[in-house]
């Protein structure tokens, strides 16, 4: 339909198309890992063949949430923790859009934890990138759900008594059909994983290890990292839920011992996305709902003709 002609347009896409022409230049600190996510996305989107105008990027609040300002797509910078419900609905309303959600570890695993679990469970066809810097950046360095046990901050002066959350296991157990971890220090892997995640038909969760040199000075810069898919030391079948689970557990424990394992941990190509499931049971129209509002020939139903007889 001509009204959404940006969707499905086939042409060479220049990386710079995603760069806002005017203001603003990133306000991220020098050396911040967030730059790597931006870069990986700018490389991945043209690779997948998605134009900025058919892409909807929904972010949360935090340094990470600012991503929207530096990547010039259709965007929705939502509220703290709520990028996923906004993104989900946009995808249901117009499944032809490329929907990407992003935010920090506090945003996604803390305040938005409930939405994270349920979006994974429903397996919405979208990509979710979590900038995992093990700290609250924007509010100046408080302990986050991924901060290690014993982590000291102004709000946890005695050191955190909590075990860090295990985001990979969480999304796998909740039902995500693609789960990977990558790191800012490895731009090539980051680009590949983000590309795959966008192409994946289902909920693709990418835990993106980013450093926050400003507030998390102690944090390892996630080097050296190991790609478990390339290493002979880690044999597992990423399509097997049980093996994937085991590998994730190892990874999530090892991270806090200083061993950074990255890569694809779970890939299920068979599980239908939520939209497909909903269509199959007749709960969602075949054509994108949003298109109908532009179709001058569509005959809008009236309650008068459809439901009122049962009240007579």
Partner 1 sequence: MTDDELIWRISGGSGDGIASTSQNFAKALMRSGLNVFTHRHYPSRIRGGHTYTEVRASADPVESRGDGYNFLLALGDSFARNPQEEAVYGNEEIKPLSENLDELREGGVIVYDEGLLDASEIPNFEERAEENDWHVYPLDLRGLARDMGREVMRNTAGVGATCALTGMELDHVEDLMRDAMPEKILEPNLEILETAYDQVREEYDVDAPDVSVPTGEHDETQLLMSGSDAISYGAIDEGCRFIAGYPMTPWTEVFTIMTQNLPKLGGISEQVEDEIAAAALAVGASHAGVKAMSGSSGGGFALMSEPLGLAEMTETPVVLVEAMRAGPSTGMPTKPEQSDLEHVLYTSQGDSQRVVLAPGTVEEAYEQSRIAFRLAYEYQIPTILLYDQKLGGELTNVPKSHFDRDPNPDLGKTLSEDALADEPHSGDGKFHRFQHDVDDGVSPRSVPGQKGGRFLATGNEHDPTGHISESPDNRVAQIDRRTQKLEAIRADLDGEDTGSYAGPEDAEYGILTFGSQQGTVEEAVGRLNEAGHSVKSYGVSDMLPFPTEQVEAFVESVDEVLVVEMTASGQFRGLVQKNLGRYGEKLSSLLKYNGNPFEPAEVVDGFEAAIVEGDGDASGHQTTFVPAAGD
Ligand X SMILES: Cc1ncc(C[n+]2csc(CCOP(=O)(O)OP(=O)(O)O)c2C)c(N)n1
The site string for partner 1 over 278-297 (x = CB under 8 A, - otherwise) reads x---xxxx---xx-xxx---
Binding mask 49-68 for partner 1 (x = CB under 8 A): ---xxxxx-x--x----x-x
* Token couple for 96: 């032809």
Please identify, using beta-carbon distances, which residue of 26 and 113 lies nearer to ligand SF4. Answer: 26
User: 299-306: which pairs have CB atoms within 8 A and are 24 or more residues apart?
Assistant: none
The entry of ligand X, ligand SF4, partner 1, none that residue 139 binds, CB within 5 to 8 Å by partner kind: ligand X
Question: Per-residue b/e over 112-142, b at no fewer than 16 CB within 10 Å?
Answer: bbebbbebbebbbbbbbbbbbbbbbbbeebb
Indicate the pairing of strand 135-136 with strand 142-143. Answer: antiparallel
Q: What is the token pair recorded at 114?
A: 């409930």
SS3 of 141-191: the string is: CEECCCCCCCCCECCECCCCCCCCCCHHHHHHHHCCCEEEEEECCCHHHHH
Q: What is the DSSP string of 26-83?
A: P-SPTT-THHHHHHHHHHHHHHHT--GGGEEEEE-SSTGGGHHHHS-SEEEE--TT-H
Q: Which is nearer to ligand X, 105 or 125 (CB)?
A: 105
Q: Which is nearer to partner 1, 154 or 304 (CB)?
A: 304
Q: Which does 105 bind (CB under 5 to 8 A by kind): ligand X, ligand SF4, partner 1, none?
A: ligand X
- Say if CB 204 and CB 175 are below 8 A apart: no
Torsion of CA 100, 188, 30, 51, to 10 degrees: -40
What angle is formed at CA 175 by the lines to CA 164 and CA 212, rounded to 5 degrees?
Answer: 35
Query: Would you count residue 127 as binding partner 1 (CB under 8 A)?
Result: no
| Contacting residues for 96 by C-beta, under 8 A, at least 6 apart | 4, 7, 8, 54, 288
- Displacement of CA 22 from its chain's centroid (Å): 26
Residue least distant from ligand X (Cβ):
104
- How far apart are CB 34 and ligand X at their closest, in Å? 7
Q: Which is nearer to ligand SF4, 135 or 247 (CB)?
A: 135
Q: How far is the CB of 136 from ligand SF4 (least distance, A)?
A: 9
CB of 42 to ligand X, least distance (A): 18
Nearest distance, CB of residue 179 and partner 1, angstroms: 20
Stretch that binds ligand X, among 45-53, 129-137, 238-246, 257-265 (CB under 6 A): 129-137
Among 36, 55, 144, 177, binds ligand X (CB under 6 A): 144
* Residue 128, binding choice from ligand SF4, ligand X, partner 1, none, Cβ under 5 to 8 Å by partner class: none
32 near ligand SF4, judged by CB under 6 A: yes
Residue 13 has what DSSP assignment?
Answer: -
- Residue numbers of the site for ligand X (CB under 6 A)? 61-64, 80, 103-107, 131, 133, 135-139, 144
Which residues would be at the binding site for ligand SF4 (CB under 6 A)? 28-29, 32, 34, 63, 133, 137, 212-215
Residues that bind partner 1 (CB under 8 A): 2-7, 20-24, 52-56, 58, 61, 66, 68-69, 72-79, 82, 85-90, 92-94, 96-97, 114-115, 117-118, 278, 282-285, 289-290, 292-294, 298, 300-304, 306-308, 311-312
């Amino acid at each position: 339909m001509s009204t959404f002609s940006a969707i499905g347009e086939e042409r060479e896409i220049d990386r710079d198309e995603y760069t806002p022409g005017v203001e603003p230049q990133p306000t991220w600190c020098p050396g911040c890992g967030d730059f790597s996510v931006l870069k990986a996305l700018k490389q991945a989107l043209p690779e997948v063949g998605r134009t900025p105008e058919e892409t909807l990027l929904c972010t949360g609040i935090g340094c990470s949430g600012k991503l929207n300002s530096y990547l010039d797509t259709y965007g929705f910078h939502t509220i703290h923790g709520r990028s996923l419900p906004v993104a989900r609905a946009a995808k249901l309303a117009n499944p032809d859009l490329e929907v990407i959600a992003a935010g920090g570890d506090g945003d996604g695993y803390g305040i938005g934890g409930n939405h994270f679990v349920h979006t994974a469970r429903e397996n919405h066809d979208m990509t979710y990138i979590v900038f995992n810097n093990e700290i609250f950046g924007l509010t100046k360095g408080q302990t986050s759900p991924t901060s290690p046990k014993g982590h000291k901050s102004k709000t946890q002066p005695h050191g955190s008594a909590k075990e860090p959350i295990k985001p990979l296991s969480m999304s796998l157990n909740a039902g995500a059909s693609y789960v990977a971890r990558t790191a800012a220090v490895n731009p090539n892997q980051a680009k590949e994983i983000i590309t795959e995640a966008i192409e994946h038909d289902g909920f693709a969760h990418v835990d993106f290890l980013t450093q926050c040199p400003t507030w998390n000075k102690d944090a390892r810069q996630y080097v050296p990292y190991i790609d478990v898919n390339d290493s002979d030391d880690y044999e597992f079948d990423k399509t097997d839920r049980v093996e994937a689970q085991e590998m994730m557990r190892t990874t999530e424990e090892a991270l806090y011992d200083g061993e950074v394992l990255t890569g694809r941990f779970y890939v299920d190509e068979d599980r239908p996305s939520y939209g497909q499931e909903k269509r199959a049971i007749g709960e969602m129209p075949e054509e994108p709902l949003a298109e109908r509002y532009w179709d001058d020939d569509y005959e809008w139903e009236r309650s008068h003709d459809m439901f009122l007889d049962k009240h007579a």
